Amino acid sequence: MMDKRSICLLIICVNLFLVIWLVIVPQPLMLETEAPPVASAFYAAPASAISSASSFSNNNKPNQIHEPSRYNFSYNHSLVSLDKAATPAPLATPSPPAPTSTSTQHTTKSSQLIDLNNFAYVMNQRACSADIKALILVHTAPRNVEKRSIIRQTWGGPIIEKSPVRVVFLLGALPPEEQSVQWDLTQENNLYGDMVQGNFQDAYRNMTYKHVMALKWFHNNCPQAKLLIKVDDDVYVHTPQLLKYLTEPTAATSTTAATLIQSSTTPTASSLRSLLGQQHDLLFCRPLVGSRVKRSYRSKWRVSFSEYSEHYYPPYCPGFAIIYSPDVVFRLYKAAQRSNYFWIDDVHITGIMAQETNTTITSVQPYILDYWDYDLLLSGQTDLMNQEFLFTSHSIGPERINALWQLILMQNSTRSKMEAS
């Protein structure tokens, strides 16, 4: 018989083997009925969907998810009484705020946002003036005060005053226990007048609501603009370059963005200016192609088969920087309003809905300044005059945004002096 020491050693070895097996071996996919409750939070009757969206299950009702982050809140839209805690929205549909624009016919009632029938704005802004050619909608989180501040001081600040470009920040609502943060947001908005807030909670799985709110706000409040530019709050937008292209248009060119790309083997300032001048069929981004759906329960991006049944996503735009022409905004907004909710907003709007509406993505890759590019610029190893770009990649941080802005100001000053002499 084995002694106690041998038995203990055997038990330790078995446990060690089990730990190694759990770490190394991928967990098998489980059916939705076998999944733990947090993984199968979608249930109940189907929401209305586009008839051809076969990749979605008809058993989803995402508005009934158990996670608190998916509940929307009802606030006093006058913004006068914010001392009372926000409570979950009542069953009755609240009266929507007064419309800010009558220049276009709404495709859906103002209180609908995908599967939310009581959507309303907690904070809203005036509609765009007739001279606005490009609306930049910045997706931001309530607590990202520093990121909003650096944008207002740099590329979204004085340079766009009295210009055909406007910047508006988009965010969702806060839960009742964070009323102090909501109060701070109200004061910030009173000071700058550039924030739009929806009454859905600002949370990870609610980003599709924010994305569709962006399309909705543009369509209802800025329909005369030529471009919608959607960016994250950690991206630098080269507004001096954008203003140059918007205020110095070229002669009429091809009808669609695709023909311009096909007719130019190398990216040039002329082709970029022409692309930005297109008013039809422009969905301009750095697309991801052949992205596999994550199924492992250990993945942050895990998607169940009931949420999306295909193995690969269609080509889609990462949300850090996307440019839309007005007709594409209208098509994607209308399609999203009729679709089932899917929480990965980039995939849903610019991938699945774009595919459903036969919208083609045009690559903005040549006009994105990547990490190594702006490192070379900031270190003085390359000249800004040799860089033709519209955006930086995301997550560059407020310090680098400010450093890049100062470099651009210095470069523009030097160029002006050279031209004057």
Of 91, 400, 344, 405, residue with least CA distance to 209:
344
pLDDT at 374 (0 to 100): 75
Residue with tokens 């800004």: 384
pLDDT at 212 (0 to 100): 98
Phi, psi for 132 (deg, rounded to 5): -75, 125
3-state helix, strand, coil in the chain (%, to 5): 40, 15, 50
Of 230, 334, 232, residue with least CA distance to 284:
230
**Residue 47 burial (CB count, 10 A):** 18
Tens place of pLDDT per residue across the chain (421 aa): 557 777 777 777 777 776 565 555 444 433 333 333 333 333 233 333 333 333 443 334 343 333 334 444 444 333 322 233 333 333 333 333 443 333 334 445 789 999 999 999 999 999 999 999 999 999 999 999 999 999 999 999 999 999 999 999 999 999 999 999 999 999 999 999 999 999 999 998 999 999 999 999 999 999 999 999 999 999 999 999 999 888 876 543 333 333 333 333 334 455 777 777 777 899 999 999 999 999 988 888 899 999 999 999 999 999 999 999 999 999 999 999 999 999 999 999 999 999 999 999 998 877 888 878 878 888 877 777 667 789 998 888 899 999 999 988 888 777 666 666 6
314 secondary structure, DSSP code: P
pLDDT at 189 (0 to 100): 98
Of 281, 272, 253, 289, residue with least CA distance to 367:
272
CA-CA-CA-CA torsion for 86, 88, 89, 90, nearest 10 degrees?
A: -120
pLDDT at 216 (0 to 100): 98
Amino acid at 389: F
Domain residue extents for the chain:
62-92+110-368
CA dist 177 and 87 (Å) reads 10
Contact 368, 393 (CB under 8 A): yes
According to CATH, the topology of domain 62-92+110-368 is Spore Coat Polysaccharide Biosynthesis Protein SpsA; Chain A (3.90.550)
Contact 250, 275 (CB under 8 A): no
Of 118, 74, 64, residue with least CA distance to 93:
118
